[in-house]
Structure 1
């Protein structure tokens, strides 16, 4: 008789799933989807929410408000802004502040070659609720924008299926459509993150480290038990690497030394306990690996600017 495969969520490796850790720790979930089909000249601002843009027609200009750099996107491109950075999307001839650039209007008839009329822009915008954007370094360490180009490749083929499902729910809403859309947005977020992290030119990041077979076991161990007294030697053994090789590869893939990453994860775990439990601060300090409440409070205040007890008092929802 064939044994039952069991529930994936009950398997040991599921607890070491760092992308799921991100979604849980920042309480990120799909919210809603809106279809945009603006006039030819437009500039639309988005802020304070995680955003997903699926370009269906036309060419658009994307600018993060805190950055002067402009990205041009077109049909088939998928854009994710996981941290909720404020940004504008406009037609290619309009600045983010709504001013039409010189030369963006149609050419005069006396010009050598009139510019063809641009294709009308059309795209889907999904938003994500970020329940706790400050409590986790995982979300904050992601890039402000992730762009998957074109319509090819397995990742975007899966996204196309998800897009069709969302369009169907938008065009034919019925009981449960809001939940369906929210769940599909969750799936799209995960798929984009997977495709980005598996890319060859990804920046050093915790998720890039999680996808590295030589470093992933160490990150899994840290997240599974942040309160353990981890040493570089012990983490290196978990990865079957020498101490020096492990430390160098960890810093190259994750972007920070193992001890620094461990300290961030411990404080993330502490904020979860402060928010979701009534445990005294002294016990929380021990659970997340600090030898004393004083050492824990110093580290916590250095990162959050306030003592653990005050952070707990002021956190929304308590």
Structure 2
């Protein structure tokens, strides 16, 4: 969708019909910072599913696919290989590994060959510690919002005391996060060892906590890749993202978002791309169409009213953008969703 330089997307028919943002830009009306991460995770409807303990014999390889996955290495060493990625990750005790997009991957034993050789030579002291790890899975309640997770990296690793490098660190916020994650791991283990009424819900909620903690620890780090999550943790760009998500139908301009971020227009545009990975206009278009899917699915508003609510000047412009994104016109998309 092409827009004049001063505008980010098709203008609403009348800005007053949609409403200007109220209160503080990027915050709640009472001045509190807007919790963008919580809002976006609620829109995805991410939910911890279940946890399994893996204690395979030496020389193993286990595949995982089609689910967001969490691996917590409790003992030994394993090798993580992600389909389509040439680099394998060496994981050790204490590592927390999140695959938020659900990429197909496998975990195999790095010590199996050494184990067999040591046993054959009768050198018991050289036998590597058997691998043991926990694997949790996640479900996405709203497939239309799954692109939010799809824009994240294939794998996020917080290295424990037994490892080095990766996305974790040896001190500061990463260390504090690992301490909290270790408490969560122990709570899961207790529920697995002594299940009782409510254990399934307990495990699901703890998995949710671990997922969020890993994501926000990664996003607040200096080496975070450009995504909406990294942008949300930027003290200035986060203000613009929050404003966009609070009022996607508002007639946003680059100048207005730059002022909300306390940056000049040029500095804002450059920083937005560096943190989020796409220009403000593209991001705004995605947010507007996401909001449209919610209205189409959950209300009986006519398509023209949906278009106006999310900031499009005409139903035709909205329908073109919607079809380009989802491959079908909005009216047909609504029928298909409701008949599933």
Interval containing the TM-score (normalised by the shorter chain):
0.7 to 0.9
Aligned to 2:107: 89
Deviation, 1:22, is 2.6
State the alpha-carbon separation in 2 of the partners of residues 108 and 176 from structure 1. Answer: 44
8 Å CA contact 1:23–1:29 kept in 2: the answer is no
SS of the residue aligned with 2:307? helix
Kindly provide the CA deviation profile for residues 177-231 of structure 1, in whole angstroms up to 9, marking residues without a partner as x. Answer: 1111111111111100110001111111111111111211100000001111100
Deviation, 1:312, is 1.9
Give the one of 103, 117, 122 matched to 1:106: 117
What stretches of structure 2 of length at least 5 have no aligned partner?
A: 1-27, 162-169
Evaluate the alpha carbon distance shift between residue 297 and residue 164 of structure 1 in structure 2; reply closer, same or farther with a 3 A threshold. Answer: same
8 Å CA contact 1:18–1:220 kept in 2: the answer is yes
SS of the residue aligned with 1:173? coil
Task: Identify which range, 141-150 or 306-315, moves more after superposition.
Answer: 306-315
Following TM superposition, where does structure 1 have runs of at least 4 consecutive aligned residues deviating by more than 4 angstroms?
A: 10-15, 107-110
Give the one of 183, 194, 205 matched to 2:216: 194
Q: Does structure 1 residue 119 correspond to structure 2 residue 137?
A: no
5 Å-filtered alignment, 1:123-142, equals 123-142=133-152
Deviation, 1:21, is 2.4
Task: Tell me which of the two structures has the higher relative contact order, counting C-alpha pairs closer than 8 angstroms and 6 or more residues apart.
Answer: 2
8 Å CA contact 1:80–1:145 kept in 2: the answer is yes
Aligned to 2:39: 21
Kindly provide the CA deviation profile for residues 75-105 of structure 1, in whole angstroms up to 9, marking residues without a partner as x. Answer: 00000011111111111268xxxxx8xx895
Give the one of 156, 179, 201 matched to 1:157: 179
State the alpha-carbon separation in 1 of the partners of residues 103 and 276 from structure 2. Answer: 22
Q: Does structure 1 residue 73 correspond to structure 2 residue 91?
A: yes
8 Å CA contact 1:217–1:238 kept in 2: the answer is yes
Q: Does structure 1 residue 273 correspond to structure 2 residue 295?
A: yes
Evaluate the alpha carbon distance shift between residue 274 and residue 205 of structure 1 in structure 2; reply closer, same or farther with a 3 A threshold. Answer: same
* Root-mean-square deviation (Å): 2.4
Report the count of equivalent residues: 300
TM-score (norm 2): 0.82
Aligned to 1:45: 63
